[in-house]
């Protein structure tokens, strides 16, 4: 607008300058002329005036058209080019100006492109060097992350505000399994980078453990760890160990950890219910000049099952002792009275006898019921692990060959079988049996076979020739398993019992052989889990389950969203919805919701929300080609009354980002009252932000923006796919906004509100 | 003059032995099978010694013991608590609440009689 005005003004002045002298001359001549000359001139001029006027008008129009063309080509064209040049400067380096318009502008575009080319080569060079320098560090970080993800224990690292900086896949799986109700839908959304650990574990307990550690540190303890047991909202029992992450005070300062939180403290206090606890986590972190606690590592183990088992065992023990104590007391008193009272009359004696019989039978009954009720928990107190059955058999074969020099053959081994066993004891047992067979029956070869039936795995030791009497196995079962110089306190029976298994001897007359069969419990093939982990490790990009930069981040979550924070420091939930149609007020419904998180300026592709929704109304046929969602896909999916609260929880304490957010927000708004879910956080719209950044571009569709900013669009028109694209677009926009002086959330919200598109209502 | 003993236990199978043993020693014996009856009997019969079971339905032996000790008419009465639970904490609790002795089942009848005699002496 400004440029246009200036141009029009300039054209006007130019026109005046060019026509002015001519008009002035004419006026002077007119003033100088005599009366008769004037009349003659008028007489000559008047009849020809319409033609002259027409020609002048034509000239004027032609001039205007020329001016307009010049404006379009030289002013507007240059402005548009300037915008694209800015784009090349920041967001999309590979973008090039398309040479268009008059030759001079085209030449300028070509020169700019050449310049960009030169700059790109330089930049690439520099980047390559930086990459090389960073590669080792990144490698190490990735190796650490990969190691963490492989750990069998759940590991979570937090900064002092309880924000999660790292978690491994076991932690994700564990908390996913623990998640209850709506949370379970977001795939264990409770755990995520930048999220608060306090949504999983109780704040007071963490604070207390941290205090313990700090006390121990002050006393100079070498291993300042703290242990605690806690219950989750779902009632599961967790055992956690906390170890501090120590950093030098100097470094802590460098990364920007202020010694005391500044003025924002007030904001903290409003929302946190446990203010003193929070303050304590922050305050006593100074431990002399060198060592300062900057965070902590939590290793978390779900002990619900083992605890239940232990509790059952305790209960069994208690039932047996306390329950029988009374009965035994009654019997003893009666018996002793009987013995000491020979004078007792017959019918009194009879009553005493009945008491004894009565109590004795009560005792045996109790014993029976207790044993049968707790049999399982009494059996499984050995540390059994899931192993591949063929691995055990192979290990046993190696051992037998090594110790006994007895040839082993493998027969029909099902390689897919998993067992739950104490592998060392089991290998010992197999070796022991082989040794006995060799010593007593001089067998020259042993064959090992693996088979399965139902939830059992059979390990067979087969030999030809001499049959064994079944008594022999009974004797062997009860001997300690000594092989050569190796001794063991266990017997074969112990090992079998410890697995809740069985062993027997069998003859196969038809095949002229005999075998021992050990029956062991089968284990579920742990494929699902392995697959999940493999997926994490395949990813070439930087793993997204850690972000140590968050050590330095100060509390944003838990204290609401401060509009004066920088856009780069905030956590976002970028989302998109697919709907039955475009009119929320006319009964259209949400059929899919997808969201992805941005924390610390990174798109966290693992921390997502992806859910189909049953709209409870028929889908419109014209919509299906667009979103690709059919009736069959939404049938049986949860309704919005479940999904929206889950989504609300997923987005808690983050800024919402969407493309054309007004449309999606209208859907939410219409459901606010009926579902009781209110989205009160600030909302940023990439459509409006695009209009802020590129007011002269014609299209602000997501595809066009993505193309402008150099983002590959994959999987468009699924809610999650669009959320990914929107998230990437938004991340590219942040530096462009900063170039325009839009740095904080408040500035971004204000700028977006002033664009033309902000006036569209749904 | 024979001593008065109150036996408080809801289990007939132990009451039969205790009652027989006490009578054999020549004591006057009254039996109560629950806590409330025990408190009534104690006020009416004014025993010198009470054998009190801990595990009883409704009012536990601990409650009865406390109520007995709160009754000024019964000062000086000896209380022996009998229990089928042998936890140390429970023994401490019984003694703290005013029991003179705490005996866990199974117990030796000879020892019990000896202890009662010595307490009444």
Neighbours of A335 (CB within 10 A): 17
Picking from B55, B57, B84, B114 by the largest number of A CB atoms within 10 A of its own CB, the best residue to mutate is B84
pLDDT at residue A103, rounded to an integer? 87
Closest among A420, A419, A417, A321 to A380, alpha carbons compared: A420
- A695 contacts chain B (CB < 8 A): no
The C-alpha of B20 sits at a distance from chain A's nearest C-alpha, in angstroms, of 8
Q: How far is CA A135 from the centre of its chain?
A: 25
In angstroms, the CA A664 to CA A655 distance is: 14
In angstroms, the CA A442 to CA A235 distance is: 58
Contact A359 B16 (CB under 8 A): no
**Residue bearing tokens 């009444």:** B120
Contact B20 A348 (CB under 8 A): yes
- A326 contacts chain B (CB < 8 A): yes
Contact A329 B110 (CB under 8 A): no
The C-alpha of A352 sits at a distance from chain B's nearest C-alpha, in angstroms, of 8
A637 neighbors A613 (Cβ within 8 angstroms): yes
CATH class of domain segment(s) A556-759: alpha beta
Closest among A636, A622, A606 to A727, alpha carbons compared: A606
Q: Which residues pair with A456 in a beta bridge?
A: A453, A521
- A355 contacts chain B (CB < 8 A): yes
Question: Structure tokens of A16?
Answer: 């005046």
In angstroms, the CA A706 to CA A186 distance is: 27
pLDDT digits (tens, 9 = 90+) for B64-100: 998 898 888 888 899 999 988 766 777 878 888 889 9
Picking from A318, A323, A324, A336 by the largest number of B CB atoms within 10 A of its own CB, the best residue to mutate is A336
- B84 contact residues in A (CB cutoff 8 A): 322-323, 325-326, 329
Q: Which CATH architecture has domain B4-116?
A: 3-Layer(aba) Sandwich (3.40)
Helices in A341-422 by DSSP H: which ranges? 346-379, 389-404
What residues does each domain of chain A span? 2-103, 151-258+276-302, 307-379, 385-521, 556-759
- A557 contacts chain B (CB < 8 A): no
Active-site residue numbers of A?
717
- Of B55, B105, B108, which has the smallest distance from its Cβ to A336's Cβ? B108
- B110 contact residues in A (CB cutoff 8 A): 336, 340
Contact A341 B106 (CB under 8 A): no
Q: What is the CA radius of gyration of chain B?
A: 13
Which chain B residue has the Cα nearest residue A357?
B13
Specify the pTM.
0.49
Q: What is the DSSP string of A623-649?
A: THHHH---HHHHTTSPPHHHHHHHHHH
Q: What is the DSSP string of A454-514?
A: TTEEEEEEEEES----HHHHHHHHHSB--BTTB--S-BHHHHHHHTT-EEEEEEETTTTEE
How crowded is the C-beta side of A257, counted as CA atoms within 13 Å?
A: 23
In angstroms, the CA A757 to CA A688 distance is: 6
pLDDT digits (tens, 9 = 90+) for B102-116: 998 888 999 999 999
In angstroms, the CA A468 to CA A477 distance is: 14
Q: How does A194-207 read in b/e, with b if 16+ C-beta sit within 10 Å?
A: bbbbbbbbbbebbb
Quickly name the fold that domain A151-258+276-302 has. Beta-Lactamase (3.30.450)
Closest among A621, A685, A631, A622 to A656, alpha carbons compared: A685
pLDDT at residue A206, rounded to an integer? 85
Closest among B48, B93, B94, B96 to B74, alpha carbons compared: B48
**pLDDT less than 70: residues of chain A:** 1, 91, 149, 176-190, 232-235, 248-291, 305, 374-383, 470, 524-546, 548-560, 715-716, 758-762
A667 neighbors A577 (Cβ within 8 angstroms): yes
- A352 contacts chain B (CB < 8 A): yes
- Of A322, A344, A358, which has the smallest distance from its Cβ to B13's Cβ? A358
pLDDT digits (tens, 9 = 90+) for B17-30: 999 999 999 999 99
Closest among A535, A536, A661, A542 to A595, alpha carbons compared: A661
pLDDT at residue A461, rounded to an integer? 93
- A350 contacts chain B (CB < 8 A): no
Question: Structure tokens of A137?
Answer: 């560090």
pLDDT at residue A761, rounded to an integer? 64
Task: Check if CATH label 3.40.50.2300 holds for domain A385-521.
Answer: no
The C-alpha of B119 sits at a distance from chain A's nearest C-alpha, in angstroms, of 20
- A24 contacts chain B (CB < 8 A): no
pLDDT at residue B29, rounded to an integer? 95
Q: Which residues contact A143 (CB under 8 A, 6 or more apart)?
A: none
Question: What element of type H or E holds B50?
Answer: strand B49-53
In angstroms, the CA A254 to CA A336 distance is: 82
- A353 contacts chain B (CB < 8 A): no
Picking from A320, A323, A328, A333 by the largest number of B CB atoms within 10 A of its own CB, the best residue to mutate is A333
A555 neighbors A163 (Cβ within 8 angstroms): yes
Q: Provide the ipTM.
A: 0.79
In angstroms, the CA A559 to CA A271 distance is: 6
Which chain B residue has the Cα nearest residue A325?
B84
The C-alpha of B95 sits at a distance from chain A's nearest C-alpha, in angstroms, of 20
- A358 contact residues in B (CB cutoff 8 A): 13
* Packed helices A527-538 and A103-150: angle between N→C axes, nearest 10 degrees: 140
């Amino acid at each position: 607008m400004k440029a246009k005005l200036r141009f029009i003004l300039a054209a006007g002045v130019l026109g005046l300058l060019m026509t002015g002298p001519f008009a002035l001359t004419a006026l002077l001549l007119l003033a100088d002329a005599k009366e008769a000359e004037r009349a003659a001139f008028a007489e000559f001029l008047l009849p020809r005036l319409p033609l002259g006027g027409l020609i002048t008008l034509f000239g004027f129009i032609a001039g205007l058209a020329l001016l307009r063309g010049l404006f379009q080509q030289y002013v507007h064209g240059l402005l548009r080019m300037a915008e694209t040049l800015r784009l090349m400067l920041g967001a999309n380096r590979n973008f090039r100006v398309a040479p268009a318009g008059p030759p001079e502008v085209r030449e300028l575009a070509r020169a700019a492109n050449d310049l960009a080319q030169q700059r790109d080569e330089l930049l690439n060079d520099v980047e390559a060097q930086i990459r090389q320098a960073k590669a080792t560090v990144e490698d190490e970080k990735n190796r650490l992350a990969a190691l963490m993800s492989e750990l069998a224990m759940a590991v979570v690292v937090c900064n002092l505000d309880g924000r999660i900086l790292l978690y491994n896949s076991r932690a994700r799986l564990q908390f996913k399994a623990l998640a209850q109700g709506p949370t379970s839908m977001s795939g264990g959304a409770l755990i995520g980078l930048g999220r608060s650990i306090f949504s999983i574990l109780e704040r007071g307990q963490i604070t207390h453990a941290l205090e313990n550690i700090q006390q121990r540190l002050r006393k100079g303890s070498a291993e300042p760890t703290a242990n605690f047991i806690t219950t989750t909202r779902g009632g599961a029992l967790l055992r956690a160990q906390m170890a501090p992450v120590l950093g030098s005070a100097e470094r802590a300062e460098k990364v920007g950890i202020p010694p005391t939180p500044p003025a924002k403290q007030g904001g903290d206090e409003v929302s946190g219910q446990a203010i003193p606890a929070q303050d304590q986590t922050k305050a006593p972190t100074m431990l002399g000049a060198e060592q300062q606690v900057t965070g902590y590592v939590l290793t978390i183990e779900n002990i619900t099952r083992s605890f239940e088992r232990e509790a059952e065992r305790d209960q069994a023990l208690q039932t047996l002792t306390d329950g029988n104590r009374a009965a035994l007391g009654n019997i003893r008193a009666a018996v002793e009275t009987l013995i000491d009272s020979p004078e007792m009359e017959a019918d009194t004696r009879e009553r005493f006898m009945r008491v004894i019989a009565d109590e004795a039978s009560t005792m045996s009954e109790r014993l029976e019921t207790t044993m049968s009720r707790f049999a399982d928990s009494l059996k499984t107190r050995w540390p059994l692990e899931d192993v591949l059955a063929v691995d055990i058999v192979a290990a046993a074969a190696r051992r037998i060959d090594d110790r006994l020099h007895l040839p082993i053959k493998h027969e029909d081994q099902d390689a897919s079988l998993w067992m739950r066993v104490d592998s060392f004891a089991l290998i010992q047992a197999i070796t022991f049996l082989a040794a006995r067979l060799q010593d007593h029956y001089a067998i020259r070869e042993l064959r090992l076979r693996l088979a399965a039936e139902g939830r059992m795995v059979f390990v067979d030791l087969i030999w030809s020739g001499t049959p064994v009497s079944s008594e022999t196995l009974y004797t062997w079962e009860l001997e300690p398993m000594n092989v050569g110089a190796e001794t063991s306190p266990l017997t074969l029976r112990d090992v079998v019992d410890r697995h809740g298994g069985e062993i027997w001897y069998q003859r196969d007359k038809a095949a002229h052989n005999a075998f021992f069969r050990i029956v062991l419990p089968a284990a579920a093939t742990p494929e699902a889990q392995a697959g999940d982990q493999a997926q994490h490790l395949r990813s070439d990009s930087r793993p997204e389950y850690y972000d140590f930069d968050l050590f330095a981040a100060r509390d944003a979550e838990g204290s609401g969203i401060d509009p004066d924070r920088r856009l780069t420091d905030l956590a976002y939930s970028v989302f998109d919805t697919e709907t039955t149609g475009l009119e929320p007020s006319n009964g259209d419904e949400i059929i899919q919701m997808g969201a992805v998180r941005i924390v610390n300026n990174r798109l966290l592709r693992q921390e997502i929300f992806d859910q189909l929704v049953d709209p409870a109304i028929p889908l419109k046929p014209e919509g299906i080609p667009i979103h690709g969602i059919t009736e069959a896909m939404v049938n049986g999916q949860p309704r919005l009354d479940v999904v929206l609260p889950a989504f609300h929880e997923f987005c808690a304490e983050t800024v919402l980002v969407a493309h054309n957010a007004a449309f999606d927000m209208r859907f939410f708004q219409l459901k606010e009252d009926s579902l009781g879910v209110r989205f009160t956080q600030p909302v940023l719209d990439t459509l409006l932000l695009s209009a802020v950044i590129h007011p002269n571009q014609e299209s602000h569709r997501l595809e066009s923006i993505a193309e402008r900013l150099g983002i590959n669009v994959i999987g468009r028109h699924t809610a999650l796919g669009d959320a990914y694209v929107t998230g990437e677009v938004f991340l590219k926009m942040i530096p462009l906004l900063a170039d325009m002086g839009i740095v904080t959330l408040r500035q971004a919200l204000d700028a977006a509100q002033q664009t033309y598109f902000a006036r569209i209502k749904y | 003059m024979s001593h008065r003993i109150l036996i408080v236990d809801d289990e007939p199978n132990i009451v039969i032995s205790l009652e027989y043993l006490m009578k054999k020693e020549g004591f006057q014996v009254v039996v109560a099978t629950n806590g409330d009856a025990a408190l009534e009997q104690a006020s009416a019969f004014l025993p010198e010694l009470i054998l009190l079971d801990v595990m009883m339905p409704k009012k536990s032996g601990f409650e009865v013991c406390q109520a007995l000790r709160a009754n000024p008419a019964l000062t000086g009465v000896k209380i022996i608590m009998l229990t089928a639970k042998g936890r140390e904490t429970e023994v401490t609790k019984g003694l703290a609440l005013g029991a003179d002795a705490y005996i866990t089942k199974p117990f030796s009848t000879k020892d019990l009689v000896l202890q009662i005699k010595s307490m009444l002496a």
